[in-house]
Structure 1
């Protein structure tokens, strides 16, 4: 057994890559799978998946064992080899480069693909990059086009996938590769399909400009490797067609080009979901969370009633999904006498700075904002956060309400939750319960998959009234 196969002999928890067994089996669109809860008892029926935010799936990432020939290389020999291959390295404890494919110690199923492709020796970036990637180290690689960069990260990714528990129904990918263009994403997928075929690893390519249907079906079946352009991936995440909770191997291919093309906000959003998904998703326990089941048409009247209850001059941050929504609700609030201003991506920098200064100074204690505009804002003493629109992910929910209850202060978050948000109910309940918050009967019903209650019921309870309860600003 190869050192990359140092897994338990349990054929159900870990996929047997040499057979058609295991979840998903061999598929026409090219790869295979693993799990966010261990599937030791999986018998073909979809198990009920209780969200376990404290115990996400453990994973292995260090598979590299230095061969005797590499270990025998002196520092002088290493430097001479790097100079000859024009390899420059920075960082601590950088492993020695490998000179041959056998030195890497790839398992047989990977070596068969290398031999089949007719490769003679590793390219420079492969010689130095493979030991780093197989050790599970963070790595930035710079090399020319055609230098073998794709296989430099793709072959270790295949080894990584095969060492993890198989996917359970509802799991997202294990390996995520971001690329700037559709053309590059398709090229990467072709290589992934070719080199992942022998271990039956499923992959799919997610990019814009084509119908979503086939991509959605691939994601729903379960794929271990997703190659994606940032915009379409965010679309899939916000539509809840996939998630990044199982991602433990992340690649940014042509990262400099993606930044030049203006993808930095999308990349940050994606990476935040990867890192949060790998940690505990918990809300600050100093924040009281209230969730009100409402219809879309009830939202504004509910907002006004809530403001009448809590308005005491403290800062109130209201989150909306869209820039248009921010402007419409802010305009209506001001017409009704509330001191509100909005901040979003269509505002000039000067406008944003002015709105922020008015909010910080308490001259306009109500601010509406979109997620993107609010990202990076540093405003102390926000007493209340109101989710007028529920966000596109639970990670964004935790980020939003985290604007209050900072630096040891108490805070309160109010959330309007509609039938359109029902798919988030179960995970939202888990967050509330972990933080010791009350779960309303209406939300509990939605969490069990039942239809939402008739509109007009529910409401915030035990919220406490502000001074006077009226509008001293009108």
Structure 2
């Protein structure tokens, strides 16, 4: 199937062609027809499956203005995202796909002065992408009215719950109109997720791709057994012997991310850490540098992992193994995206063998062991 078989408006197809998108991913192919019909949707899909386009394209088509908009534009679409990085990327996608329309979108998040955001809101927008805390704050100040919402998206719902946003979400939901299209995405399914979805969705279409217990088959996975004290030196050797020039390196802690970034920088490699304690400007600068390859290695904590969307990323390195097995799936999902190939290396100390065992049980496969090649 091609995008031009999905009954999308010509200007949306033109934008997709300019982005060189021709064939929809499975989540897009399964979601777009139902969403165009106005149905609610529950989607279980990991990052990298193309879910932003799956909901953004139908929303843009529904909101496409018929002639000039008179007066101040009411917010008609609300998208909630757990992190500033993901919110920014969703807004960028709306702008890219809707570049030939008259629709306006914007993003709001905390950690920055609100004045610029308030000025944009006052000018009138159609689509608002927001993190829950800042949205609730501006709603309480009277800057945001959601009474005209016709489309509501809750993205990365499981990460929302992990980050403690459930109370904010429960405060926002009653202030939305009942008569609207609801779209709910989560990478994992739990009783809590299903309970939350049940309060939002009405007779939804269910779409599931890439089950959480599986990893992309096109991602090659290898494990190196390395003791904790030796890991930083080993990482530098791995980068050298495997000729790795661009990779995300995952650590468990913010402090660990900073230490690894400093160690790589001292060795002459261009590395930046990205985590929740960094300022918004620092995070955006690091991410932009990694995307344009002025930064070679992005050292990230798990809280940032789902907000990182890099085209054609070949390598992911697990400097430390996550305590939760599903987190490993999300980490290596940064590579092998949208049909591209990828390699995931994991450094496992003796203290982490239980975590590795849990991961292999979850994905139902043994990750092959490797030894470092001589440079």
Task: Give the TM-score normalised by structure 1.
Answer: 0.36
- Which structure ranks higher in relative contact order (CA pairs < 8 Å, sequence separation ≥ 6)? 2
Task: Give the TM-score normalised by structure 2.
Answer: 0.46
Which is higher, the Rg of structure 1 or of structure 2? 1
